[in-house]
Amino acid sequence: MRYREAYSPHLITKLGLGSSILDPFCGCGSILIGAAENGYSSTGIDINPLAVFATKVKLTPLPKGKIAALKRFAAMLTNTGDLGKAWPLPALSIASKVFEPVITDTLLKIRRLIESEFSDDSESRDFLMLAWIAILESVGSYFKEGNGIKYRNKKRLKTGYVQRLEGAWQTERFGDDQELFVRDAFEAQIQMMLQDTKFWRKGDWAKQEVVHGNVLEMDSLLGTRKYESVIFSPPYANRFDYFESMKVELWFGGFVDSYESINRFRKASLRSHLGADLTRPYEPISELEKLIGLMDQDASSWRMGVPALLRGYFEDMRTTLKHCRKTLHSGKCFVVVGNSAFAGVIVPTDVILAKIALESGFKKAEVLVTRHLTVAPQQRNQLSRFQDNMRESVVVLST
């Protein structure tokens, strides 16, 4: 499982990070895994319980006996006729739409089987649950696209979406035996993850910690702990709501059980999307206010509340950078971030973050451009002269 703005653990050696590392937006754990492989220590923080769960599984080496038991389970799954009773369907309103009925039944029976077979072995149970969650989209009648999900019963053409022939698209996607399709997908995922267990043989996996919490409360989460390096890639200010795009996995995986619980996460998260609490206070940034003043007020993004989003985003990043400065011994902080375009204006997130960092206690800030990003088609003509400013960068902050 990967996050949309995931990055390579090879950045640890490429950037020369110290032997103790903090990643306050750890996602599914790329940096923590890289730290373990290099024999370093690391701490990761994330507000998304699914991301924290996935990271914990990846960071928990299983002994040979448990790996052997997982292999036996995979073989048993292949040879078992009746999978038994089904796990309860979650209360997600679209739960009956995101899978075909046979696929839903098969998935929930496998879920029940995992729970019953490994009721006294939480580590092995979690390993299998991660495999189960990882196949949901591939066996589903939905797929992630844009800021949410779309359904496979519709095909996208240049002129829009058209309905696909009922029955035909399911056979094309899942074959004639949907139960077998799910079983095969799950077994293949288990086998792939078992192959990856070889990486546990080297490195130091005991010195890694992942914390479920809000980066804005980093001081209370970490106390007085210090690190030699900080690296993170925060959610970009692009309206992308991870809780919306991952809602199927969150609900079916049991990480949320009500709309109230998922909305609590959404509201408390970084103000990078419109579902966050945009009413929280902020300190105005003159450069940002000038950019907002240039925006087309007739644009849909303006009407949806992007100015409030941007003000909140940079306020939350100010809080984050202040916390990061406090946790650093004397090393550097690396922020991997992408710029945004709204209502006819490009927002240079990297430059604004560099300015905020200098105001937050860092002594030097440098912006290193890594690649260029594409502008949304509806803004391409309007921003044609400024497309070079749509970029992804590493903001390097020195103490």
Residue 309: pLDDT over 60 = yes
3-state secondary structure of 61: coil
Which pLDDT does position 227 carry in this prediction? 98
Which pLDDT does position 381 carry in this prediction? 55
Is 74:190 a contact under the CB 8 Å cutoff? yes
Which pLDDT does position 274 carry in this prediction? 95
Is 375:317 a contact under the CB 8 Å cutoff? no
CB contact set of 7 (below 8 Å; sequence gap of 6+): 30, 31, 233, 336
CA angle, 278 then 283 then 288, to 5°? 85
Is 21:230 a contact under the CB 8 Å cutoff? yes
β-strand partners of 43: 22, 209
Residue 378: pLDDT over 90 = no
- Reference 150, options 248, 220, 81; nearest CA is 248
pLDDT digits (tens, 9 = 90+) for 25-35: 999 999 999 99
β-strand partners of 143: 150
User: Measured in whole angstroms, how far is the alpha carbon of residue 61 from the centre of its chain?
Assistant: 22
Residue carrying structure tokens 């990061």: 324
3-state secondary structure of 383: coil
3-state secondary structure of 83: coil
- Reference 278, options 310, 317, 300, 251; nearest CA is 310
State both tokens at 358.
């200098």
Cα Rg of the chain, angstroms:
23
Name the segment(s) of the chain with CATH classification 3.40.50.150: 11-49+203-398
pLDDT digits (tens, 9 = 90+) for 20-57: 999 999 999 999 999 999 999 999 999 999 999 999 99
Which pLDDT does position 2 carry in this prediction? 53
pLDDT digits (tens, 9 = 90+) for 197-215: 999 999 999 999 999 999 9
pLDDT digits (tens, 9 = 90+) for 257-289: 999 999 999 999 999 999 999 999 999 999 999
Average pLDDT of every residue of the chain: 93
Report the C-alpha gap between 228 and 212 in whole angstroms: 22
Report the C-alpha gap between 291 and 343 in whole angstroms: 10
Going by DSSP bridges, is the β-strand pair 332-338/229-232 parallel, antiparallel, or unpaired? parallel
CATH topology classification for 11-49+203-398: Rossmann fold (3.40.50)
CA angle, 277 then 280 then 282, to 5°? 130
pLDDT digits (tens, 9 = 90+) for 90-101: 999 999 999 999
Residue 1: pLDDT over 70 = no
Cite the DSSP H helix spans in the chain: 11-14, 30-37, 49-58, 64-79, 101-117, 122-134, 136-139, 168-174, 178-196, 218-222, 242-245, 247-252, 259-268, 286-294, 300-304, 306-327, 349-359, 377-380
